[in-house]
Amino acid sequence: MTTSATPTDLINPASAGAADAAALRAALNRVRTEVGKAVVGQDGAVTGLIIALLARGHVLLEGVPGVAKTLLVRTLSHALSLDTKRIQFTPDLMPGDVTGSLIYDARAGEFEFRKGPVFTNIMLADEINRTPPKTQSALLEAMEERQVSVDGESLTLPEPFIVAATMNPIEYEGTYTLPEAQLDRFLLKLVLEVPARTDEIEVLRRHAAGFNPRDLAGAGVGAVLGAAELAAAQAAVSHVGSSADVLAYIVDLARATRTSPSVKLGVSPRGTTALLAATKAWAWLSGYDSITPDHVQAMALPVWRHRVQLRPEAELEGVSVDAILRGVLQQVQVPI
C-alpha cells in the first residue's frame, strides 16, 4: 500500500494473504496516528471505532459534553476517506428527516424520493436520546438490514455503513430512553472519559498554536485508507478462527450474566454473536489468526455493558453494569 494522503493501492479481498494483512493492519495503525493529530487522550475510543468498522457494527459513544465525541467521528471519517453526515437529534425530529422523504415533483407529475442523511458511510447521530422513540426506531431497519424501505421499495445503503451515536450521561431533562431493541443493535458502547491532566494540557497547547477543529486538513489529518482497503480488512477478519473451547467460554460468560442476582436482564444470544464479531476484529487487529480468551475478556465490557439491565435494588445500592461484568469475568473458568 502507498503511504500518500490518497489511498491508491487497492487490495483484492479474495487474495489478501499474510503480507497484505500486515499492510492493512499497518494502514489502520496509521489511521489511529492521523486521528491523534486532532483528538487527544481518546486512544481506546479510536480503537473501538476501528473495531466496529471491521466488524460492520454500530457504536454508542457516551461522555460528558466537550470530550471530543463529534470531533472523533469526523476525524476518523476524514482519515478513512469515507463520507459522513451528522444529524442533531431534537424532540421535533421526524423519521423522514433521517431516512428521507417522498417529495412531489410538479413538473414530472410524480413523487420523487429525496435521500436522507442516513445514506452515507458513517452517520453521526448526535445526542440520539433527545428525540422520541418513533424517530429513534426509524434507524432500526437501517442499522440491522442496511437498507431503507420507501413506498414498497428497499433502497440499499452504501458500504461501509455504521451509525456512531452520542449520548450525554448526566443530562436527562428532555431526553428519551433508547428502546431495548435499538440498544441491542449497537455493537459497542464506548465511554469517553475526561482526558488526563497531561492530555488536557496538550489540547490547550494545540489550541494556543492555532488548531481549528473545523479544519482537519489544516491540522494535517490526511486519508490513509479507503473503502476498498477497509473491505479487504473486513474480509480478512471474517476468516479469523475460533476454537470450540473459546466459543463455549463466550456462552458461559453470557449465561453467568443471566443468573447474577443483581441482573434483571442478561446478555442475549445476539449479544454472544456480537462479542464474537468484535473479538475476531480485535484479534485480527492484534495480529492473531484465531481468537483467545484474552481477546474475549478485552471486548466483553464494551460489547455487553449496554445489553445488561440491573434490578432496581441493585441500582439503588450503586452497583454498576461494568462491575457485574468484571465479576463474571473473574468467576467463569477460563479455558486453557
Per residue in 71-88, pLDDT tens? 999 999 999 999 999 999
259, 272, 279, 277: which is closest to 324 by C-alpha? 259
For residue 100, the cross-strand partners are: 115
Average pLDDT of span 160-178: 80
Please report which confidence band the pLDDT of residue 174 belongs to, taking 50, 70 and 90 as the band edges: low
- HSE-up (13 A, CA, CB side) for residue 192: 29
Nearest by Cα to 20 from 228, 331, 212: 228
Whole-number average pLDDT of the chain:
88
In this prediction, residues 79-99 reach a mean pLDDT of 90
Residue among 40, 51, 82, 92 at smallest CA distance from 240: 51
- pLDDT of 175 over the 90 cut: no
Cell triple for 199: 492530555
Answer for the pair 90, 125: CB distance below 8 angstroms, yes or no: no
What pLDDT does residue 316 have?
92
Mean pLDDT of 168-194: 81
State phi, psi for 91 to the nearest 5 degrees.
Answer: -60, -25
pLDDT of 164 higher than 60: yes
Q: Above 60 in pLDDT, residue 60?
A: yes
Alpha helix stretches (DSSP H) within the chain = 18-36, 43-54, 69-79, 95-99, 133-145, 180-183, 197-208, 227-238, 244-258, 269-285, 293-304, 312-316, 321-331
Return phi, psi of residue 154, to 5°.
-100, 125
Helix (H, G, I), strand (E, B) or coil at 294: helix
Tell me which fold the domain 26-236 belongs to: Rossmann fold (3.40.50)
Bridge partners of 265, per DSSP, are 309
The number of beta carbons lying within 10 Å of the beta carbon of residue 17 is 10
Residue 122 dihedral angles phi and psi, to the nearest 5°: -125, 115
pLDDT at residue 232, as a whole number: 93
Percent of the chain, pLDDT > 90?
60
* Pairing relationship of beta strands 58-62 and 186-191 according to DSSP bridges: parallel
**Segment 257-282 mean pLDDT:** 95
String of DSSP letters for 43-86: HHHHHHHHHHHHTT-EEEEE--TTSSHHHHHHHHHHHTT--EEE
Give the residue, 105 or 210, on which the prediction is more confident: 210
Q: How high is the pLDDT of residue 304?
A: 97
pLDDT above 70 (res 302)? yes
pLDDT (0 to 100) of residue 310: 93
> Phi and psi at residue 87, in whole multiples of 5°?
-120, 125
The x, y and z cell numbers of residue 215, run together, are: 479544519
| pLDDT average, residue stretch 44-48 | 93
Q: In this structure, are residues 65 and 168 in contact, taking their beta carbons and an 8 Å threshold?
A: yes
**pLDDT for the residue 8:** 40
Domains in the chain: boundaries: 26-236, 240-335
Count Cβ atoms below 10 Å from residue 215 Cβ, excluding itself.
Answer: 11
How long, in residues, is the chain? 336
Do the beta carbons of residue 224 and residue 6 sit within 8 Å?
Answer: no
Prediction pTM value: 0.88
Q: Are the C-beta atoms of residues 85 and 117 closer than 8 Å to each other?
A: yes
For 240-335, CATH gives 1.10.8.80
CB–CB of 134/31 below 8 Å? no
Confidence at residue 16, expressed as pLDDT on a 0 to 100 scale: 46
